[in-house]
Structure 1
Amino acid sequence: MDTLQFDMGNFDATQTTFQQTLDINYLSNELLCEIFDYFNEYELSETFSTLYCRFEELLHCSSVLLKTQFYLFENDRIMNMFKEFLLSKLKYYRISFCNNSHSITLPMATNNRLSPIEYLVINHYCSLNEFVSLISYVLQFRRLTVQKIKINNSNLIILSSLSIQLNNLKSISNLNILTIIVSDDITFLDAYRLTKLILNSSPQLEKFHFIYYEHLDNEQQYSTFIGRQNQFFSSFWIQQKWIFEDEIRDTDIEYIIRSYSGKTYLITGSAGGIGNQTALELAKRGAKVVLFARPSNLQQAINDVKKVAREDKLISGYPLDLADLLSIEKCIEEYKKNEGENTSITALINNAGVMACPYSRTKDGFEMQMGTNHFGHFYLTQLLLPQLLKSKSRVVNVSSTSHALLQVPCTLETYTEQLNKQTYKPWHAYSLSKIANIYFTIELQRRFGAQGLRAYSLHPGGVNTGLQRHTVISQWFIAPLRFLLFKTQLEGAQTSLFCAVSDKAVPGKYHSDCRETKVDNPHAENPERAREWWDYSEKIVAEKIKQRH
């Protein structure tokens, strides 16, 4: 598919050293496109003034894949060129003016001047008239993204006007994917108008992505907005599996409509605690959820999650003991056999864990907390890695603020101290395993981030779960305080959900309370230590597996 990302802005056309030493007009189309990949936007704009004829040639070369962003003039020649782009053979088209006051002056299209574009991104403020004139040139949309639409008179009629004016445009009626990102106009949060727009103009719409963000002045304003959620729980929205959510970030709030249809989430430790709550919340939204849990609790967890799922077939589960590498191996073999080795994975949530337990070792000889919390998840992720990379998945590692209890790095030396029963301290071992979770995230992102994989670590908060069964807080005379001091399990699951679905989560970073947060142990963010610990983990797990087979 011919592709072009095309950004229009201002620049001064000047000659560069590159232009003086190489006549780029004599390069082949294929080589020219390869060169584009190695230039940044400024360098491209500097050289582009001599390439008008060559670039026009590229537009009509159906074998060339154009994918570089350009910053161009705002003058008559370039506007004529802009129209040529629109009517070229391109199927992917991205337009963005840096100057918000600039407008696209195109007449409505005629039947003999239509474009084959299927994917259009409008990434700047444009008026409703400009928007309608642009899409009139497109015969058959498959995907449309509109960042910001402005209207000069009354914003109150934008949705109704949009639906009326779009009714006669065949391109919109064939639309499969629609993305709208807007702010500072509460009238957009009207489920009835959005429903009318979709049913009247785009009945074949499969995916609808909507983000509305607003600066919060006070709690009363938030309460006013939150009442609009109920409009999005009608049969239309439920049937489409388009879920309305809100996210609060400091002084801003975002209202988001997401589609969980076709998304698959794998969750360890999903039979109880925040893992179970994470599974329940994703199942409610129509996602496919795969539960990994100990055999004794698995079937009950599957039954509970099915009760809230849209369809029973969306929920499955497999027995897993993270303290046994062969159990992990068997679990993933069964998963791949039943679900398919090429099944897309949206996110793997490494949630399971043990905390401050008495000294013991796993079946493979690891200290129990490090073996379960880190080595088990390391091997599980390793076995799923081909699918995760192919799917460009997220990997969410549940760490803890307890990584700061022991202000040391996680190394072979510090781990060996906890492996020795004489020097073992429950909380030190737990802290070390949580540092290992952060290391794993950092190195996973470094190694595979360029391939599309995204890794996140997080602290869920102090949560009232069975994880405290080995601690003093679980004693009968203190246990009631947990309900006052700790988060509920649903509250504790929020940061896991945030890292699994939100674009606000930062790959490779540590999160708490649904935002990126600094670690409280400087050793825990050392990339060299993370790399060393990965190398050791890879080596020791391979050795243990070899011994067991």
Structure 2
Amino acid sequence: MAMISQNPFQLTGRYAERNKWEVISGPGDSRPTGLQIIEDEGLIGAMSNKVVLITGVSSGMGPETVRAIASTGATIFATARNLDKAREALGDSLLETGRVHLLFMDQTDLSSVRACADEFRQQCDGKLNILINNAGVMKTPEGRTKDGFELQFGTNHLSHFLLFYLLKDLLLASSTPGFHSRVVNVSSVGHRDGPVRFDNLNLEGEYDGWAAYGQSKTANIYMATQIERLYGAQGLHGLSLSPGSFASPNLQKFCQDDMDAAQMDERMAKYFTNVQQGCATSVYGAVSKDLEGKGGLYLEGASVAGPVLGDYDRVEYGYNEWAFDREKEEKVWEVSKKLVGVE
């Protein structure tokens, strides 16, 4: 893999220095964990009046995101398609606190998303402060959701768009002067694999797993930025992020050879984190006081990222040139509304 020669460091914030290539050394290095973020923010037990909804908690960084946020004392609703797997991943000690509640949601089926939103409303006492759209699939074989959408675009973007749209009134109503509501979309450095193909969202006749993943992750960014544009002045903010790379056998089951090869590369091996560090940027986006009242930002390394510049490879920090584009953000919003059937 080509080394970087002329790319300025593109992260800012209290954890930025820990992400510099001169100091990172792989899983367990000085980059923060999700729990460290909570501790550094002074939020252990301090958010008992907040309600958080997190999708995709049966594997990967989902369970670790729940654990970190749970340390704040917040009430958490966590979704999964396989509830038994989610229970095993979270563990009895966390579930028995009575503050973490599991909800069934199959994100390949929009009727299931609607049912989950209804169930959430019945249990949340009219409050939702933070929505973390974490669930995702990666480089899947060509397939369709139950509603006929390309599997990755439908699962990674459209299901989350619908969930947000059905619950946005709660997010708006729950915002307070001291803590504005937040929507945190887990995108990926994979957004560089492709822009949104408005002319062929299903990639009919030209399917490529990474291109499909890329457009779904670009759509995650567009959605978060458009949330900020539409609702930021009302105290509801949208943020997107890349969590970095870490071993996640379930997420990476269709690209394990790619992941194995990446970890054989010296530069990539340094870039990888463990899963506790992998959830840190989501946690940072959800709770950091540095981000209070802010949105429309792309986060990496528990920091705010700028555009990637100069010569770069897949893991250099920063967002691609097409990641922020008002016309396309507005277009993906309107197209998504039509596809999921909301007004």
TM-score when normalising by structure 1:
0.49
2:257 is matched with: 473
What is the aligned counterpart of 1:271 among 33, 51, 58? 58
Deviations 1:143-191 (A, max 9, x none): xxxxxxxxxxxxxxxxxxxxxxxxxxxxxxxxxxxxxxxxxxxxxxxxx
Q: Is 1:330 equivalent to 2:111 in the alignment? A: no
1:450 is matched with: 233
What is the aligned counterpart of 1:524 among 312, 319, 323? 323
Q: 1:523 is paired with a residue of what secondary structure?
A: coil
Q: Distance in 1 between matches of 2:237 and 2:183?
A: 6
**What are the ranges of 5 or more consecutive residues in structure 2 without an aligned counterpart?**
1-13, 18-36, 176-180, 308-318
Seen in structure 2, the aligned counterparts of structure 1 residues 303 and 360 have a Cα distance that, compared at 3 Å, is closer
- Alpha-carbon deviation of 1:397? 0.1
- Alpha-carbon deviation of 1:306? 5.9
Deviations 1:363-390 (A, max 9, x none): 0000000000000000011111110111
Q: Distance in 2 between matches of 1:286 and 1:306?
A: 17
Seen in structure 2, the aligned counterparts of structure 1 residues 305 and 500 have a Cα distance that, compared at 3 Å, is same
Deviations 1:294-332 (A, max 9, x none): 1x2x24434654644496221111100111000111111
**What are the ranges of 5 or more consecutive residues in structure 1 without an aligned counterpart?**
1-212, 217-242, 247-254
1:542 is matched with: 341
2:187 is matched with: 399
Q: Is 1:289 equivalent to 2:76 in the alignment? A: yes
Superposed, 1:190-209 pairs within 5 Å as: none
Q: Distance in 2 between matches of 1:432 and 1:464?
A: 22
- Alpha-carbon deviation of 1:339? 3.0
Q: Distance in 2 between matches of 1:303 and 1:356?
A: 26
1:503 is matched with: 289
- Alpha-carbon deviation of 1:528? 1.3
**Does the 8 A contact of 1:265 with 1:289 survive in 2?**
yes
- Alpha-carbon deviation of 1:288? 1.4
Q: Distance in 2 between matches of 1:470 and 1:425?
A: 12
Would you identify which runs of 4 or more consecutive aligned residues in structure 1 move more than 3 Å?
255-258, 302-311, 477-485
Seen in structure 2, the aligned counterparts of structure 1 residues 472 and 299 have a Cα distance that, compared at 3 Å, is closer
1:464 is matched with: 247
1:527 is aligned with what amino acid?
R
2:26 is matched with: none
What is the aligned counterpart of 1:389 among 142, 165, 172? 172
1:237 is matched with: none
Q: Is 1:380 equivalent to 2:163 in the alignment? A: yes
- Alpha-carbon deviation of 1:471? 0.7
Q: Distance in 1 between matches of 2:95 and 2:142?
A: 43
Seen in structure 2, the aligned counterparts of structure 1 residues 299 and 339 have a Cα distance that, compared at 3 Å, is farther
**Does the 8 A contact of 1:264 with 1:288 survive in 2?**
yes
1:400 is aligned with what amino acid?
S
2:296 is aligned with what amino acid?
G
**Does the 8 A contact of 1:291 with 1:316 survive in 2?**
yes
Q: 1:461 is paired with a residue of what secondary structure?
A: coil
Q: 2:165 is paired with a residue of what secondary structure?
A: helix
Q: Distance in 2 between matches of 1:281 and 1:245?
A: 9
Q: Distance in 2 between matches of 1:314 and 1:455?
A: 25
**Does the 8 A contact of 1:283 with 1:308 survive in 2?**
no
Task: Report which structure shows greater RCO (CA 8 Å, sep ≥6).
Answer: 2
**Does the 8 A contact of 1:306 with 1:312 survive in 2?**
no
Between structure 1 and structure 2, the one with the greater Rg is 1
Q: Distance in 2 between matches of 1:424 and 1:310?
A: 40
Q: Distance in 1 between matches of 2:191 and 2:306?
A: 12
Q: Is 1:360 equivalent to 2:143 in the alignment? A: yes
1:367 is aligned with what amino acid?
E
Q: 1:469 is paired with a residue of what secondary structure?
A: coil
Q: 2:199 is paired with a residue of what secondary structure?
A: helix
Q: 1:470 is paired with a residue of what secondary structure?
A: coil
**Does the 8 A contact of 2:58 with 2:89 survive in 1?**
no
Q: Distance in 2 between matches of 1:537 and 1:362?
A: 15
- Alpha-carbon deviation of 1:414? 4.7
- Alpha-carbon deviation of 1:463? 1.6
Q: Distance in 1 between matches of 2:100 and 2:121?
A: 15
Seen in structure 2, the aligned counterparts of structure 1 residues 310 and 355 have a Cα distance that, compared at 3 Å, is closer
2:100 is matched with: 315
Q: 2:253 is paired with a residue of what secondary structure?
A: helix
What is the aligned counterpart of 1:431 among 214, 230, 251? 214
1:314 is aligned with what amino acid?
R
Deviations 1:338-369 (A, max 9, x none): 333x1x21210000000100000000000000
**Does the 8 A contact of 2:152 with 2:216 survive in 1?**
yes
Q: Distance in 2 between matches of 1:493 and 1:386?
A: 27
1:529 is aligned with what amino acid?
K
- Alpha-carbon deviation of 1:447? 0.5
Superposed, 1:130-209 pairs within 5 Å as: none
Q: Is 1:533 equivalent to 2:332 in the alignment? A: yes
**Does the 8 A contact of 1:411 with 1:529 survive in 2?**
no
- Which structure: greater helix fraction? 1
What is the aligned counterpart of 1:245 among 33, 39, 49? 39
Q: 1:413 is paired with a residue of what secondary structure?
A: coil
Q: Distance in 1 between matches of 2:158 and 2:89?
A: 29
2:331 is aligned with what amino acid?
E
